[in-house]
Amino acid sequence: MIFIYPNDVHRTTSSEVLMCERILVNFTDEFLTTQLSTGHVPLLKEICGAPLIRFSVNMQAIVEELLQKLIRECETKQVAYETYVQALLTQLLIHMHRYSIKENIEKLSSLHPMHQKISEISTYLNDHYHMKITLEKVAKHFYITPSYLSHTFKKITGGFQYKEYLQIIRLREAKRLLRESDEQIADKTGYEHPANFTVIFKKITGITPCQYRKSYRT
């Protein structure tokens, strides 16, 4: 099981396993802040300290059963299914927490010395995407060399180049602004020239910013 924080850009890559089944569970902000008790939110944060958990055969069976129950409830939508889904998710978190303690699963930061640094850089990019932040400037800000940052960033993020990662963050924010406002977008998302922003946006999404905005206004 892999836990992914909000705003963490990530991708799935191929491996030696030819076929697999993936079940995606989204924990919304509302669920975390209102549905979970105050004791459960630190629980989730503790689990996410070791975001990759490999199960034993017995634990895998327990998790699969819970996930299948979740799927059935979401598909059938019986009376009070939302309450039951919340209970199942809470149960899943508790199982994860107990298992991580029992198996003494290491924190990811202890396995990868640069992981914490890359996490800080990711947060920095999410906070400053609207500014001109080159690889060299970010490397200097975090006291590492550009070449080392480039190599390590790609390794830790699962194959993303620095420029590609920043572009995804900027376009994600651009899409939000296009959906929710009538503002000019380019300068608010770190693009100096509107024409350049339009070219990149169309290359990634297949449509122009204007077309994207209109699709949400019709």
Q: What is the pTM for the complete model shown?
A: 0.58
pLDDT at 217: 72
pLDDT tens-digit readout, 27-37: 776 766 665 55
Token duo for residue 191: 């693009």
Give the separation between CA 136 and CA 118, rounded to whole angstroms.
15
Give the C-alpha separation, 135 to 187, whole Å: 19
pLDDT tens per residue across span 181-217: 877 788 888 888 888 899 988 888 888 988 888 887 7
pLDDT of 51 reads 64
Q: Which ranges constitute the DSSP H helices of 77-161?
A: 81-102, 108-111, 115-128, 135-141, 146-156
Q: How confident is the model at residue 108 (pLDDT cuts 50, 70, 90)?
A: very low
- Phi, psi (deg, nearest 5) at residue 72: -60, -45
The CATH class of 115-215 is mainly alpha
Each residue of 109-163: pLDDT tens digit?
445 567 778 888 988 998 899 998 999 999 999 999 999 999 988 887 777 889 9
Asked if pLDDT for residue 15 goes beyond 60, the answer is no
Give the burial class of 154: count Cβ atoms within 10 A of its Cβ; 0-12 exposed, 13-18 middle, 19 or more buried. Answer: middle
Map out the domains of the chain as residue ranges: 29-108, 115-215
